[in-house]
Every structure is written in C-alpha cells, then in structure tokens.
A and B are shown apart, each in its own frame.
Chain A
Amino acid sequence: MNNELPDPGCGHSLDELEEYLRTGQSAAEQHYLRCPECQAGLAGLRSLQRLSGQLAAADTEQAGSADEPWLQSILGNLRLEMRSGRSIPLSSEYPEDAFFETEGSLLALIRRIGDDVDGATIGKCRLHGDITTPGADVMIEVNVTAFFGYPLPAMIESLRSRIAAMISTHSELNLTSIDVTVTDVHEHFSPAPKGAVNE
C-alpha cells in the first residue's frame, strides 16, 4: 500500500496501522490504544480486510488486492478520515463550558453504519457545510461500493435512515440532506439471500 497522502494528525500512517494489524506487534501499540484517530483507522482497515476476504471467497480474480482502484479510493478516504477534523460544537448548560465532538468521530460512525448494512461498503464520506457553527445547514455526502444481488434502492434508503438517526442522536447538526451515490457494484458476489437488507 502506498501512502501518497500525508500522515494523519497524530503522526502515524495507515501503512503503520496496516503492519500492526498484520503482525499484531508495534512499538507504538500503546499509542494506538489511546489515539482516537488511530483507532478509527484500525476500525476502517479491519472493515476493509473483511470486505477483501469476502471478495476473495467469491472470486479470486476480484480478490480485492490493494491495487484495485476502488479499494485505493476507500483507503484514500480512510486516510483523510484519520484526522480528527473540525470540532463540532455541542450545547452546554453553562456558557463558560465548551463541548465538542470531532468530525472524525462522526465520519467513523457513518462508516460503521455502512458495515451494518448488508452488501454495502462506504467509500468517500464528507460533511459539507460550516459544521463549526451551531445551526448551520449541513449536508452529508456518501459514496458506496455495493455487491450485486442486493436491491440498491432499499440499501440506499437503509443507509440514509440509519445515518439520519445517528446524526440526530449523536450531534446537534442541522442536517439538510444525505446524498448517497453507489459508485461501484461488484457482480461476482452473491452468497447472501437476495433482497436481504438490514433494517
């Protein structure tokens, strides 16, 4: 895996995390256990490992090697999301207090939602709008890699409703829209019953 993008905010790269996952050893293990950006990166890499394994089981010609353009795209977005990003304000009871959640924490949650929807893997994920200003309009853009055999409208609706519910629960963002785009469909994978979309 070539890491063309800069390292994440904490200084550790996705390559280092991948090696740690592969070997189970790293001098920076204690850091990984205490760094939210690295934990988000590790979670994303584990998700990709599962996806690659599924593809390998379905078709060795689509084994999900690191050279696959779509996989590179997901990895590139994962690198971007390994930054804490902007600080999203949360309201406080006392004006002197200050509460925030990081943009990276919400993006990681959105990515996890994709893991829970059968047949979907989230690639690009962005929060558009001035999320640092309370009440400002915010739009979410999500690109999805889908497996053939799953009804895409139902998959997209499931993603949209789950993301909306999550944002409503875990933030005070004024969410105006969620744009979901299916950017890739892998046609050689259909081990699960067709039409199965988690609700």
Chain B
Amino acid sequence: MNKNQLALRVQEIIAGVEGVAGLYPARSAVLAGIASTLGANETVVAVDTADTGLVIRARIAALTGAPAPRLVRDVAAAVRAELGGLAGDARAGSVGLAGSVGSAGSAGSAESVESVTSVGPVSSVEITVCGFTDVRFS
C-alpha cells in the first residue's frame, strides 16, 4: 500500500464516521485545486511519516447535530482502530506501506508518490473542524 492508497483508505474511514459531513483538502484548497487541474491524484487526507510513525492530518466539516469535541475524538479513534486492524491495539495501530518510489499518474503529474517499505505505528492524528453544515457533501 502506498501513501495515496493509504490516504484514500483513511479518507473512507473518516467519511464513514457518524457526524462527519465531508472532508476538505488537508494541505490547502489552492494546492488541491492545482493538483486537480493537472490531473494529479491528489488525496484529501495527508499522510506523512515521522520518526515515531505515521502522522495523519485531515480537515473535516461536521454536521451541526454532532458535537465537535466528541466528533474529532471519534474520528481519531476510528482511524486508529481501522489502521490497527487485527492488532487490537488501537493506539499503536500500525500499517505497512510497501512499494517503490515513483510518480503517480501520467507524465506531468504534480504529485510524487512516496512509498515506504517500513511498517510503522500511527504516531499522531491531527483533525481540524473547518466548518459545520446540515448535510453531508462527501
């Protein structure tokens, strides 16, 4: 699983949490727009590797009926639980990133795929609620 695949999986996990209305680009809407224009496989969730493991960053919209403080904790718990898989230790949930370093998509793609062969734990989850809405949009 490369970073993009993992990011897409995390995106699915977050979008599936009750109370999440949708996700915004984690890095910036401008960069996401540029990537989209160039046809790059831009992911909404940012997945980075640190010495201590994976760092997951996401910006979400919350449904107005879902208390935000509880929602962000639910989102982080879901990410840790899903990535932890059968390990059973949600906090130290780990995921393997395998593959070779290369570029995604066609020539001219703005985004490179950084694939990693090591297996690391989920180091931290950073969730920011950027908006509230009455309806889901993703």
Contact = CB atoms under 8 A, between A and B. Distances in A.
Interface of A: 10-11, 28, 30-31, 33-40, 84, 87, 90-94, 96-102, 104-105, 108-109, 112, 169-172
Chain B: interface secondary structure?
Answer: mixed
B123 interface: yes
A106 B125 CA distance: 22
Contacts of B125: 97-98
Given A10-B28, A30-B33, A97-B76, A36 B69 contact: no
11 contacts: A30-B33, A30-B36, A34-B29, A94-B76, A98-B125, A100-B126, A102-B129, A102-B130, A104-B131, A170-B62, A170-B67
A169 B69 CA distance: 8
Interface in B103-138: 123-133, 137
Contacts of A93: 73, 76-77
Contact of B76 (A37, A99, A112): A99
A91 B91 CA distance: 16
A31 B33 contact: yes
Contact of B68 (A31, A92, A98, A171): A171
B110 to A, nearest CB: 15
A37 B30 CA distance: 12
Contacts of A90: 68-69, 72, 129
B76 A92 contact: yes
A63 to B, nearest CB: 29
Q: How large is the interface on B (under 10, 10 to 19, 20 to 34, 35 or more residues)?
A: 20 to 34
A106 B16 CA distance: 23
Contacts of B29: 10, 31, 34-38
Contacts of A99: 69, 72-73, 76, 126-128
A180 to B, nearest CB: 21
Given A36-B59, A170-B68, 6 more contacts: A33-B137, A34-B33, A90-B69, A94-B76, A98-B126, A171-B69
Contact of B130 (A91, A92, A96, A105): A105
Contacts of A40: 131
A84 B28 CA distance: 12
Interface in B48-80: 52, 59, 61-62, 64, 67-69, 72-73, 76-77
